[in-house]
Chains A and B, each alone.
Chain A
């Protein structure tokens, strides 16, 4: 009786399959390379995953509303490029970071305006703004690449606070903040409500436009923060630096069990999703697999995890239906 209850609660946990995928990937990695489970390597993985986590954290809120934000990676690149240019002209670092975050906020609000006010399909709207943002980044850089950023800026990406890398601390704090927003605030509840039943959200008097604006603004802000950390980590800025993240950001969220239809999932799944994706590229580097083949593995893992997720969800629903 009790075991079945535990089993029930486990199956009802959204993150179960994400956790299983994580354990599976870690298990295989441990078998493949002895150095995988070393403390150093695990810290490296978390440090590598931190930018991906930051970028996909705000996106989680957007996907929970049933939307999508395809402009995240290039918003990050634009912010990184502007920040680098401003730093080169000797502007105070705090001011620069604030300007960077504001730019992300503006892009996010613009996306929210297109989706919420103009009612454009989110995929189309954010893809369009993605093109514009990438174009702006190219204009900001004038086709060049900036190297060697000021010494007081780079620690954001490569520094340590005691034994812990600063980017890990930044992403951990951000994830806690977003978890609180999603779980404990009215905005969070509204985001889930809008995603699971937009009509009900509208009829129950929720300001759906405002919720949409806030979700996309959040995504823009985290994209900006991710861009700043990314630039500091690379110690360089390039208009195309967001390319390598591209659709990985969406993959991290979706692999974390957040449904693309909205209303289901959460930030902790995204964290695990980002870690799984990073582990895959880490282990392939460790055992010396051609980097070209890494995206093959990522592709397969995305398809398999999402399929598992959908499969388990269907089983849960059938179980619920059979009970009632």
Chain B
């Protein structure tokens, strides 16, 4: 008797299934692997533990910011005030400590400022109905202006033991700053994937009217998302200040755009509520591995910006083509 061969057992089916799984990975995963492969062949110490740790330490502020940006991209926006928020928080924290505020209190005050900025973004977007792009652009101008004014436009240096503790001190061989990053990723992941709130955040991007009709308080959810993003920006600002051991009113410039790039490279879509923080990790990794590799390979900084831009653009184009073919 012939055994009925079901289609799901056939090697062809398995191949299709495998290729579908592989296709569902965001482009950043492949480009990450490719870059790491190239760099580890071409550069001697690239895969050394100390270099990997320095990559992780450097990417943490961007990673934390990008977690928040993922939420905003899921509701079809881009928070352009995050870089400015980093600027203000790092300057404010150091300045407060310099003026004699206790470290922890200064930290709480600085982070609260970022939370307030996020909350205001949420209110402006949900209550005044401004496009997210414009609301956060305006907020970026305001925060940058405050950062530049209170710092008088220059870096503020203040000796403090905590910088080294955060960036060099470690637990299980991994620097504290990376643990903070991991905690932020985990919390955002859990909120997004395991709570009903997270599920609604995804559908908020797709069809806000239906949610309103179903009795979901979209305004409140929007404010909560922006406030959470503000909180993450505040934490990232403190981490950035620890890493550069000063408060710098322009050190955060560009983070807002890099975080958008990281989120999109990580496969989070502006249209379908698809994606999440796991993909974003790969997006952030791509940007940082590229930066680190170019520096290690002694490529002049003159060429770095063009190369990074081209790779990011290339990845986004590939993603678009792959998605359309599906």
**Considering the chains assembled together, what is the distance between the CA atoms of A133 and B313 in angstroms?**
11
Q: Evaluate contact between A143 and B302: CB separation under 8 angstroms.
A: yes
Could you tell me which residues of chain A, from 258 to 301, have a CB within 8 Å of some CB in chain B? 260-261, 290, 292-296, 298-300
Q: Evaluate contact between A119 and B141: CB separation under 8 angstroms.
A: no
Could you tell me which residues of chain A, from 121 to 171, have a CB within 8 Å of some CB in chain B? 121, 123-125, 127-136, 138-139, 142-143
Q: Evaluate contact between B312 and A139: CB separation under 8 angstroms.
A: no
Q: How many A-B residue pairs have CB under 8 A?
A: 127
Q: Evaluate contact between B307 and A303: CB separation under 8 angstroms.
A: no
Q: Evaluate contact between B145 and A294: CB separation under 8 angstroms.
A: yes
Q: Which residues of A contact B133 (CB under 8 A)?
A: 68, 123, 260
Q: Which of A118, A128, A131 contacts B305 (CB 8 A)?
A: A131
Q: Evaluate contact between B78 and A123: CB separation under 8 angstroms.
A: yes
Interface range on chain A: under 10, 10 to 19, 20 to 34, or 35 or more?
Answer: 35 or more
Q: Does B264 contact A (CB under 8 A)?
A: yes
Q: Evaluate contact between A299 and B305: CB separation under 8 angstroms.
A: no
Q: Evaluate contact between A299 and B309: CB separation under 8 angstroms.
A: no
Q: Does A251 contact B (CB under 8 A)?
A: yes
Could you tell me which residues of chain B, from 284 to 311, have a CB within 8 Å of some CB in chain A? 301-310
Q: Evaluate contact between A138 and B320: CB separation under 8 angstroms.
A: no
B251 to chain A, nearest CB (A): 15
Interface stretch, picked from B59-67, B124-132, B162-170, is B124-132
Q: Evaluate contact between B307 and A135: CB separation under 8 angstroms.
A: yes
Interface range on chain B: under 10, 10 to 19, 20 to 34, or 35 or more?
Answer: 35 or more
**Considering the chains assembled together, what is the distance between the CA atoms of A300 and B78 in angstroms?**
19
Could you tell me which residues of chain B, from 7 to 25, have a CB within 8 Å of some CB in chain A? none
Q: Does B174 contact A (CB under 8 A)?
A: no
Given A120-B317, A132-B309, A135-B308, residue A299 in contact with residue B302 (CB < 8 A): no
Q: Does B142 contact A (CB under 8 A)?
A: yes
Q: Does A307 contact B (CB under 8 A)?
A: yes
Q: Evaluate contact between A292 and B321: CB separation under 8 angstroms.
A: no
Q: Does A114 contact B (CB under 8 A)?
A: yes
Q: Evaluate contact between B320 and A118: CB separation under 8 angstroms.
A: yes
Q: Evaluate contact between B308 and A131: CB separation under 8 angstroms.
A: yes
Given A123-B78, A290-B149, residue A142 in contact with residue B316 (CB < 8 A): no
Q: Which residues of A contact B137 (CB under 8 A)?
A: 247, 250-251, 299, 302
Q: Which residues of A contact B301 (CB under 8 A)?
A: 143
Q: Which residues of B contact A142 (CB under 8 A)?
A: 302
**Considering the chains assembled together, what is the distance between the CA atoms of A313 and B317 in angstroms?**
36
Q: Which residues of A contact B313 (CB under 8 A)?
A: 125, 128-129, 131-132
Instruction: A300-B142, A302-B141 given; name 13 further pairs at CB < 8 Å.
Output: A118-B321, A128-B261, A135-B306, A135-B309, A135-B310, A136-B306, A139-B302, A260-B131, A295-B148, A299-B145, A302-B138, A303-B134, A306-B138
> What are 7 A-B pairs at a CB distance below 8 A?
A130-B309, A138-B305, A247-B137, A299-B138, A299-B139, A299-B140, A310-B128
